[in-house]
Chain A
Amino acid sequence: MTDPEQVRARLEETGYLVDEGLAVTCFLALRLHRPLFCEGDAGVGKTALATALAEALGAPLIRLQCHEGIDASQALYDWDFPRQLLHLRAAEAAGVQDADRLESELYDRRFLIARPLLQALQTQPSVLLVDEIDRADDEFEAFLLELLSEYSVTIPELGTLRAQEPPVVVLTSNRTREVHDALKRRCLYHWFDHPSFARELAIVRRRLPQVPERLAEQVTALVQTLRGADLLKPPGVAETIDWAQALDALGASEVDAELAVTTLGSVLKYREDADRARGLDLAAVLAARGA
């Protein structure tokens, strides 16, 4: 892909709509081999971007979900001890005499379990998604920093493994914690905002082509209203799609205030938010959307 416009077009083919800013940022990430650091509210499409990039590049998506206490053996590689032991026993039974050879065999590639990061280095091309990096701890960040700047790993028994072509890396963060500057410095930064009405409608239409246009329009309008309603958890694009899908599953071709309230559960996940939404004049919103 030679320019941002092309990146945009390719992503669009996969059903992921990007604006100009994200297109430029993705293009730079691909060409500069820099990880892409994505921040924004939940459900605005950070993780979906990685999936879309993988599809657009025709590369497998390798996902590493971060959590507190994640360490190198869960993220990078591990030795398969049971199999090593089995190998030892089998060799013993067969009466192998050459101890040196046996030992070196134990640390063969086939006993190496590649965890996501190593998989990403070994697979060309690949898209590596490091999801919710803000959940991991500082030590893990430091470890990741090293890996992402060199795109290589040293395994004591095997030596250094280097990616011939660095994977495309997408990191996402929900901002529960400030990620270290050193890591961010290596990355390109993109902040995900909630989309405008037109863009969101286009996304819904693209993702759910079977949903009637009118229904998609109404749902989008409702979600945009809810977003402005000062909720504990404003719904993201993912919720809009969920809602449209739910209504479609109910066989609705359009939505009235009553139906909207009964299906609120697919959008709002706090009781307080649902109460608030019921207090809004949803009928008026729907009416304003050209009845």
Chain B
Amino acid sequence: MSSAASGAGRPPPRTETVPLGAAATALAADAVLLGFVRALRSAGLDASAERLYAFLRAIDLLGPGKRADVYWAGRATLCGGHDDLERYERVFAAYFGTPGGSAPRRDQAAAPPRLGLATRAASTARRGPGGSEPPGPHTATLASSAEVLRHRDVAGLDAGERAQLHRLLAAFALQGQTRRSARRRPARRGDVDPRRTVRELLRRGGEPARLRRHTRVTQPRRIVLLVDVSGSMAPYADALLRFAHAAVRGGRTEVFTIGTRLTRVTRELAHRDPDLAMAALAQAVPDWRGGTRLGELLREFLIRWGQRGMARGAVVVLLSDGWERGDPELLGTQMRRLHTLAHQVIWANPRKARPGYAPLAAGMAAALPSVDAFVEGHSLAALERLASVVRGAASRATPVKGAERA
């Protein structure tokens, strides 16, 4: 599409009223718009053909007039969420130039590099020439080594073991607890279902018929995973995120990373392929291996998402070592708030398995009173146990305090 961009041989419109394609033919104007959409796509916006079509129709309707019209038409048709807006704005400014800006960029062809492709290539390259992926072992050895691997600390694995762990994690599923919903379904036992009974009577022309019954549907609870990606969690973050990836496939799971900022990554993890998902995630999360501000970020989570309903009645899992750089008091307060909102709060701490571990880190100590279950998170076995706690099986077997003892 460099031709489209070089259709910008004419001066790029700078002011509010300069027509986009006054001099050019309609075709060239379309090409400019297409080029714009291309630039958006390479910046990571998911602008499908359908959206593009809507965009062109919108422009057609508005007439290729004002810059602001183009801006708003594109924003309404090409963006799908709040996260897209910032990117959209950036690309729009780069492509059409800033109004009244100092130096509108002339070489629009130099759109942002094609990040999507680059990372995909990188991820295959990592596997290809590096040859780190070992040839698949026999199934028998796989089974027994899997058993050993299950209990190993993730932090101490070599590359081969890690790859195997990833395969095991990929086959994993996280199911939430269930709750009663307002909906009912036909059942043998339960209350009489007047509608179906009457319908049945009608079908039989008013003759007596068996009573139809219905019962409440149970629905899985939403699961929210908050994964700590700060420096102190570096040995575990990858495994935990793969765990999260497996969990997202179950449907009602939301994943956030916390470090120095809060990032919602549910969408990135929606890729079926774990490696692609991890690559997308690596791009989306800006704060790998930084510090942790658990309290502040938890607060942000609660304000932006939690209290609006995401945490309400959900099972919320924090995967973190509880090293808090900020004020532990704040973390304590936010954990109390979270606890009043959520159905259950679970804290999985990879460091808990270390011999002699005591929750002395100030953050962890402040958070514990508001935690329903405190579990380990360092190995596959621990993650399996975490999954069973999330499912509600383990928490029923071992009451709240017991989880802490275990």
Contact = CB atoms under 8 A, between A and B. Distances in A.
Interface of A: 3-4, 20-21, 24-25, 27-29, 31-32, 34, 39, 42, 67-69, 71, 81-82, 84-85, 88-89, 92, 99, 106, 134-135, 137-138, 174-178, 181, 184-186, 188-191, 232-233
Interface string B317-350: 0000000000000000000000000000000000
5 contacts: A25-B72, A88-B202, A106-B202, A174-B308, A185-B48
Given A68-B181, A232-B303, A134 B309 contact: yes
Top-9 shortest CB links A-B: A176-B309, A24-B72, A69-B183, A69-B182, A188-B76, A25-B76, A81-B198, A69-B181, A184-B80
Contact of B310 (A42, A81, A137, A176): A176
Nearest to A81: B198
B181 A174 contact: no
A98 to B, nearest CB: 13
B61 A28 contact: yes
A24 B71 CA distance: 10
Given A81-B194, A85-B198, A181-B46, A67 B182 contact: yes
Q: Which of B48, B75, B195 has the most CB of A within 10 A?
A: B75
A184 B73 CA distance: 15
Nearest to A179: B81
B335 to A, nearest CB: 14
B68 A32 contact: no
Nearest to B306: A176
Interface of B: 46, 48, 50-51, 54, 57-58, 61-62, 68-69, 71-73, 75-77, 79-82, 85, 181-183, 194-195, 198-199, 201-202, 205-206, 217, 219, 222, 251, 254, 266-267, 302-303, 305, 307-310, 312
A236 B205 CA distance: 57
A232 B72 CA distance: 31
Given A32-B57, A32-B61, A88 B206 contact: yes
Specify the main secondary structure of chain B where it touches its partner.
Answer: helix
Contacts of A189: 75-77, 79-81
Nearest to A28: B58
A100 to B, nearest CB: 12
Given A24-B76, A67-B182, A178 B267 contact: yes
A34 B75 contact: no
Nearest to B313: A68
Nearest to A29: B76
Given A25-B72, A69-B183, A178-B267, A85 B309 contact: no
B275 to A, nearest CB: 22
A27 B58 CA distance: 10
A174 B307 CA distance: 11
A184 B267 CA distance: 14
